[in-house]
Structure 1
Amino acid sequence: MPPLRPLLLFLLGLAAMPLCCLAQPAPARSAGAAYTSAAALQDRGLYDLAAKEWLAMLRAHPEDPLASRARYNLGVCRFQQGDFSAAAKEFQAAATGKYAESVAAAAWANLGLARFNLASSLPPEQQPAASEGYRQAVAAFDRLLKEFPQSSQVATSHYYRGESLAALGETAEAAKSFSAVLTDPNASALHEASRISLARAELESGEPAKAEATLNSLLAATPAGAPLSEAYLLRGEARLAAGNPQAAAEDFAKAAADADPAAMDSVLERHAFALYTGKDYANASDLYARLANRYPDSPLAADARVACAKCLMLSGLDRQAERAFAKLWNAAPTADNAEAAHWLVQTLLKRGKHEEAAQLARQALATSPPPQWRAPLQLALADGLSEQPDGQREALQLFTRYAREHAGA
């Protein structure tokens, strides 16, 4: 539910790993001058130039004890450049190469983070590669946690281990990692994000009561005036899953108070859905209309228009619902709009307009609607025909065919 989690996590990762940005100081050795020059560039944020200096040093002094630090810092530069694949390669080499002791803990942690960011950046069609990347990230974090349990990178590694596992759908194991962060008093900077992620993992594991309790503790500990939209959104989902749509609607309304404008259409949709689930059709209709009118280009707008009209119908406002459904269908009489046609047919049947309902059902069926609307439209056509003397024979055939096709369903 989180809006573009990878970007958020990337920023958290940079803040949580101090070794990721500043080069480590060099002892006075033969390669020291080259190291100092590259480190100065890196510390100024000139990662392109620093990377060239690190490469030059590694070519000139491949066996120097400073080489592992140089390779680690080259990985930092690649990470900052957004080349997570190259960064992972350098962190792996730094963690396992000669003289790795001084950088191994940070290298394993940042190797995991680089693999996580790389997996998060892959498009949906590369899901198998992303899954493998998350598993490799977990392996790197596990190495850090096993070999360096006192490292300053432990809490951050637990957090991103949890995010990697959550991305793999292993929510129960992910919850353990997020809980480990919360037991670390020195990881307070990660506690809010960990509670959010823990609650999400609990919700996805089918434990909405636990998720709500986790979010209650977060909300109770958050100072007044702090942005809480994500917490309220998630608690709303937990309450909705627990069968409490009224309380969920209250949370979604609170989430709207400081929600990201880019996500407001989604917040409105969840609020409207909670009202709909709680059978508050009048207010749900208003919210669906607001969504469609304020965000006409939203991917949620089309469904919101149909839902708005449906709520009017469920509120007993049949004539308003009929006009709304007719407007939707006439604007786009296609298979994609079959739901609007179905509900328009239902309003017509309810008002005794059987011939008009049958004509519309036949028109909608001619568009080859999706299966979930084809059967209801076939029944509606039969209903409309059954009330017409010259249509009763066809209606009987349609009822018989429907019964045969759906026997045992």
Structure 2
Amino acid sequence: MSQKQTGDLAGAAAVLKAAFGAHSANPIAEQVLFQWADCELRLSQFDAAEQHFADVAKRWPQGTWADDALYFAGEAALQRANRAANAETRAAAIQAAESYTKQFATTQPNSGLKLYNDLLRGRVLLARGTDADATASVDLFKGVVTAAQRPQTQLQARYHLARAQQRLKQHAPVIETLGPVIEQVRKEGAASEFIDALVMFASSAHAVQKYPEAVAAAADYIRLVPKGEQVDQAYASKALAEANLKQFDAAKQSLAQLKAALPNSPLIVRTALQLAEVAYSQKQFDASLEWYAAVVATGPQSPHFVAALSGQAWSQFEKKQYKPAAEGFGRLVKEFPQHALAAEAAFKWGESFQLDNQLDAAAKAFGDAFEAYSPGRYGYLAGLEAARTLRRSNKVAEADAAYEKLLVKFPKPENLDKLFDEWALLNYEAGRFPRADEIFKRLIAETPASDLVDNARFSLAESDLLSSVNPDDGSVNAAKLDAAKAAFQKLEQDPKSDAEVQELSLWRLMQLAEQQKQWDELSKIATTHRTRFAAGEHKLDAAFYLALSHLQRQQSDPALELLKPLAAAKADPVMKEKDWFPRVFVLLAEIQWQKKSYAEVLATVTDFRAWDAKNRFLYQAEEVLGRAYKSQGKFDEARAVFKQAIDDPNGARTETAAKAQLMIAETYFIQKNFKAALENYLKVDIIYDFPEWQAPALFQAGACDEELGDWAQVVRDYDSLITKFPKSEWAEKAKPRLEAAKLKAKK
């Protein structure tokens, strides 16, 4: 025993072994075997210690040392488990330790070691490693904290309770539980049996973002036991807490100190990766790049290499360093195609090329990622971006094929309706209307409840409208036109249509009504629009079309009230975008001419010229001005303006040009210059193909020949009129004059 007391445990064990062998039947044998086992326990010879403690309890179950023996047998078994070389041995040792604690609880209910056995039972449960066992251990440890009278026992219970809570990620309770323990550690210093509690506290404080407290606890551990078993974890916790406080220089120093203290610690690389992730989360990309690069430099054999390679590329991506980012993501995909991060990296590879404006490379990378990682989130995203990148490159046919391929592999993705809409618009904007129609029809059929269905129906109606006119000869397909009109009518009345589609449908219906010269209907539609969409995008269109409907029905005053504010807004850039706006000047001039406000006609046409001297509708306004001059007897001015209208390339051979030509002839006729009048009347019939103006021109040609006394020609004039335009009012007027001319021609 004296050898044991002086620390010569091996010598003491040898003596006690010999003594037990010689006196195993002696009453003192119980104590000798126990002390021998205790020496072995202290010498970390846990197998022998466990066996001998168990023998004490078995041979002397009612002996003085029975409770101590059972308790320490459990302790030895647990220590054996903690040092086991494999899972099977560990599990067996834990089971043995548990059996000793249960035997103790059954056979030694009144022992003074009961609370210690409860602590041991809790530690055994913790060693099992499941959350359920950790939860059960919490109750045991809390019971000891409450029941223990000795402060040291309470501190032991708190220490192990905190271990259990930390295992369960209950970090806030850990901090509360360890409060008295940390206080005691700081009093006792390096000699405290709970010195490791500082590291545990630092870890949980970091987890609940109490970074200053984490730094302080870890620093205390490093200061007190610079070569302690957990100094690497202390440096790691300190560095991570400092990084979270944005104290990056301090974090670098802590990591450097860890490397210096334990250059082979596996925590060095792991901590560098964690520091990089903290810096990245705080958008400190220079710092994250430095740490990620350090991990990448350790080589592919590191278990943290791929994560660091990914993080390095992400940091470069965030710094808009797209070329090196593409290289990093590409390397990950090529070298680790099956890694969990590969699919994401494949997508980011394409995105890096895309943002670097390397669209061909981006389309290829996205396409490869789509093929390699479908089905899967990044496979889908890559397929979608492949289509979009091809669209940006104006490769419409390839983009269309990419959208189609995407929906073959992912037939029912989230937001399918929006994908259909995007795909259809690709073709619509490229003028591939039949293809766009196919896709819009799929949208309607496959996502009938979508709020984009009305937009799709509107686009299909527009297709019918546009295709209703033959571009070669201008002929109209009445069936398609009627179908478009019916669709627009349904859309504008359907409560399921959104406001934009309803308004656009009314806008199209106004255009159709004008095209079909349905002036009453145009008035009704325009009024409906102004009522329902007073502040809508097409409110100005509605005002114009309503004015037009008034004018066509000889309601000049309400038309004038609508047209004046439109004309006054000629400086508004919005008006430049309205294809009908130039006609405002024409209609305003027409009303002013009807009201014989000739000076206002001149002012309106002058404003029009100043607004756009090359406008394609200017010739129509000049024709009105010509009539204003004619009405005032200013024939030279009238003819000059009529000539401008005829010579304008926009007006060549139009109905307005035919009318202007007739008006030139009229001025000569009024001035009794019948020869010049005749020449210009005949131009109307010969050059133009507008019966409304050809018929009166031929009639007036006959009148000129009457004045010139050429009755044979008069007969030919009136006969030509009646033959060419038999149903016109001018043919009826010509018939009696033809008979009179025939009589005079015979004389």
SS of the aligned residue for 1:295 comes to helix
Instruction: Give the 3 Å change call, closer, same or farther, for CA 206–351 of structure 1 in structure 2.
Output: closer
Correspondent of 1:252 among 191, 194, 215? 215
Q: Aligned partners of 2:235, 2:376: CA distance in 1, in Å?
A: 37
Structure 2 counterparts to residues 231-270 of structure 1, below 5 A: 231-241=197-207, 244-245=208-209, 247-259=210-222, 260-262=225-227, 263-270=230-237
Q: Aligned partners of 2:19, 2:349: CA distance in 1, in Å?
A: 76
2:252 matched residue in structure 1: 289
Q: Does 1:84 align with 2:51?
A: no
Instruction: Give the 3 Å change call, closer, same or farther, for CA 380–332 of structure 1 in structure 2.
Output: farther
2:121 matched residue in structure 1: 161
Q: Does 1:197 align with 2:163?
A: no
SS of the aligned residue for 2:340 comes to helix
Q: Does 1:115 align with 2:77?
A: yes
Note the C-alpha offset of 1:92. 2.1
Q: Does 1:357 align with 2:357?
A: no
SS of the aligned residue for 1:215 comes to helix
Instruction: Give the 3 Å change call, closer, same or farther, for CA 388–231 of structure 1 in structure 2.
Output: same
1:342 matched residue in structure 2: 310
Instruction: Give the 3 Å change call, closer, same or farther, for CA 186–318 of structure 1 in structure 2.
Output: closer
Note the C-alpha offset of 1:381. 1.8
Amino acid at match of 1:372: A
Instruction: Give the 3 Å change call, closer, same or farther, for CA 159–382 of structure 1 in structure 2.
Output: same
Note the C-alpha offset of 1:356. 4.0
Q: Aligned partners of 1:206, 1:286: CA distance in 2, in Å?
A: 29
Q: Which of structure 1's runs of 4+ aligned residues deviate more than 6 A?
A: none
Q: Aligned partners of 1:48, 1:350: CA distance in 2, in Å?
A: 68
Deviates more, 1:359-368 or 1:129-138: 359-368
Structure 2 counterparts to residues 1-400 of structure 1, below 5 A: 45=8, 46-58=12-24, 61=25, 64-97=26-59, 100-123=62-85, 126-169=86-129, 170-219=133-182, 224=187, 226=189, 230-241=196-207, 244-245=208-209, 247-259=210-222, 260-262=225-227, 263-274=230-241, 280=245, 282-283=246-247, 285-296=248-259, 297=263, 298-309=265-276, 318=285, 322=289, 325=292, 329=296, 331-332=297-298, 334=300, 336=302, 337-368=305-336, 371-386=339-354, 387-400=357-370
Amino acid at match of 1:101: G
Q: Aligned partners of 1:99, 1:90: CA distance in 2, in Å?
A: 13
Instruction: Give the 3 Å change call, closer, same or farther, for CA 340–201 of structure 1 in structure 2.
Output: closer
Q: Aligned partners of 2:67, 2:76: CA distance in 1, in Å?
A: 14
- Asked if the contact 2:56/2:66 (under 8 Å) is kept, the reply is yes
- Asked if the contact 2:71/2:101 (under 8 Å) is kept, the reply is yes
2:402 matched residue in structure 1: none
Q: Aligned partners of 1:235, 1:322: CA distance in 2, in Å?
A: 30
Instruction: Give the 3 Å change call, closer, same or farther, for CA 90–258 of structure 1 in structure 2.
Output: closer
TM-score by length of 1: 0.73
Note the C-alpha offset of 1:52. 1.7
Note the C-alpha offset of 1:99. 7.6
Note the C-alpha offset of 1:275. 5.3
Note the C-alpha offset of 1:167. 1.0
Q: Aligned partners of 1:138, 1:129: CA distance in 2, in Å?
A: 14
Note the C-alpha offset of 1:155. 3.1
Corresponding pairs, count: 357
Instruction: Give the 3 Å change call, closer, same or farther, for CA 175–53 of structure 1 in structure 2.
Output: same
Instruction: Give the 3 Å change call, closer, same or farther, for CA 267–158 of structure 1 in structure 2.
Output: same
Instruction: Give the 3 Å change call, closer, same or farther, for CA 66–352 of structure 1 in structure 2.
Output: closer
Deviates more, 1:399-408 or 1:185-194: 399-408
Q: Aligned partners of 1:181, 1:219: CA distance in 2, in Å?
A: 18
Deviations 1:198-257 (A, max 9, x none): 12213323544433332234446777464676444434444455xx30x24423323312
- Asked if the contact 1:379/1:402 (under 8 Å) is kept, the reply is no
Which consecutive residues of structure 1, in runs of 5 or more, have no partner in the other structure? 1-21, 23-39
Q: Aligned partners of 1:85, 1:328: CA distance in 2, in Å?
A: 42
What percentage of aligned pairs have identical amino acids?
Answer: 16
- Asked if the contact 1:235/1:248 (under 8 Å) is kept, the reply is no
- Asked if the contact 1:292/1:302 (under 8 Å) is kept, the reply is no
Note the C-alpha offset of 1:362. 2.6
Note the C-alpha offset of 1:122. 1.6
Instruction: Give the 3 Å change call, closer, same or farther, for CA 327–82 of structure 1 in structure 2.
Output: closer
Instruction: Give the 3 Å change call, closer, same or farther, for CA 87–186 of structure 1 in structure 2.
Output: same
Q: Aligned partners of 1:306, 1:356: CA distance in 2, in Å?
A: 19
Amino acid at match of 1:394: K
Q: Aligned partners of 1:209, 1:319: CA distance in 2, in Å?
A: 32
Note the C-alpha offset of 1:171. 1.8
Deviations 1:58-91 (A, max 9, x none): 2xx4xx4444444434433443443322222222
1:32 matched residue in structure 2: none
- Asked if the contact 2:199/2:233 (under 8 Å) is kept, the reply is no
- Asked if the contact 1:51/1:78 (under 8 Å) is kept, the reply is no
Instruction: Give the 3 Å change call, closer, same or farther, for CA 389–110 of structure 1 in structure 2.
Output: closer
Q: Aligned partners of 1:339, 1:50: CA distance in 2, in Å?
A: 57
Q: Aligned partners of 1:320, 1:310: CA distance in 2, in Å?
A: 10
Q: Aligned partners of 1:191, 1:48: CA distance in 2, in Å?
A: 36
Note the C-alpha offset of 1:179. 3.1
- Asked if the contact 1:288/1:304 (under 8 Å) is kept, the reply is no
TM-score by length of 2: 0.42
SS of the aligned residue for 1:261 comes to coil
Q: Aligned partners of 1:322, 1:205: CA distance in 2, in Å?
A: 33
- Asked if the contact 1:288/1:305 (under 8 Å) is kept, the reply is no
Note the C-alpha offset of 1:383. 1.7
Amino acid at match of 1:144: F
Q: Aligned partners of 1:121, 1:154: CA distance in 2, in Å?
A: 26
Q: Aligned partners of 2:317, 2:42: CA distance in 1, in Å?
A: 64
Q: Aligned partners of 1:131, 1:203: CA distance in 2, in Å?
A: 22
Q: Aligned partners of 1:318, 1:66: CA distance in 2, in Å?
A: 72
Deviates more, 1:194-203 or 1:316-325: 316-325
